[in-house]
Amino acid sequence: MEITILGSGTATPSLERNASGLVVRTSHLWILVDIGPGTIRRMCEAGIDSKQIDAILITHFHPDHVSDLVPFLFASNYAFGPVREEPFSLIGPVGLEQFYSRLVEIFQDWIVPTGNRLVKREININGPDSCSIDKVTVRSSPSAHSFPSVSYRIEEGTHSVTVSGDTDLSDELIQLATDTDVLICECSMPEGQKVPGHLVPSEAGRIATRAAAKKLVLTHFYPPCDEVDLLGQAGSHFSGPMVKAEDLMVIKI
């Protein structure tokens, strides 16, 4: 597995930190988790062709997590070279079908992939859920954020990546991330600046420790996070390897 961070930031515009998005590459699939504004450009910078994406997982419907979905779908029909003929999946919490339908009402058939290539699936928001994409298993659980929101765990063989999405402290996330190889965990603000629905470093560290995660990657930073030692703050509560995410960073398992 290989993870490429496409956006380590938030709704705050920044040249250094794009809004939320990352790609998990398995042995034979490319899975995009969240698709905030600027994600497609970051994919170009990372050398990832949008036509390679086999699935898009949406954690929730805030603009900094979904705004590039419209240009992604639009480009799926109008890219230079052959248009991808294989189906690709759009997966998200209950409400996804309505969200997609409203987008189509606005942009009409311009964003509807031709040939029935788009496969949509709504994730349960009241408890754990799972689905399979070829040989990859995607598990989910509700997250402690705006309703509806979910966290994801992507598994292939014995390897796994867990992505928190936006969340506050959550027993469901701990259960989902148990023994995961990499926990990519939101850490929106430094210690002493807690915002409900989001985590500070000590909380992310405690989640990683209780889940026995093998590696913790902090991400989803508002600007104050770049003014302090986040890893030092999290390290008081997690003794394993830690990384502060940067855009275009590649993490291998």
Nearest alpha carbon to residue 23 among 47, 221, 9: 47
Residue 202 has a pLDDT of: 98
Residue 21 has a pLDDT of: 98
Enter the pTM of the model: 0.96
Q: What's the token pair of residue 82?
A: 């052959």
Q: How far apart are the first and last CA of the chain?
A: 5
Residue 64 has a pLDDT of: 97
Q: Could you give the 3-state DSSP secondary structure of residue 218?
A: strand
Nearest alpha carbon to residue 163 among 34, 48, 253, 69: 34
Residue 111 has a pLDDT of: 96
Element spanning 96, H or E: helix 96-107
pLDDT lower than 70: segments of the chain:
79
pLDDT tens figures, 187-227: 999 999 999 999 999 999 999 999 999 999 999 999 999 99
Q: Which residues contact 47 (CB under 8 A, 6 or more apart)?
A: none
Residue 83 has a pLDDT of: 78
Residue 78 has a pLDDT of: 83
Domains, the chain, ranges and CATH? 2-252 (3.60.15.10)
d(CA 144, CA 142): 7
Tally of CB atoms within 10 A around 185: 31
Residue 80 has a pLDDT of: 76
Q: What's the token pair of residue 221?
A: 């930073």
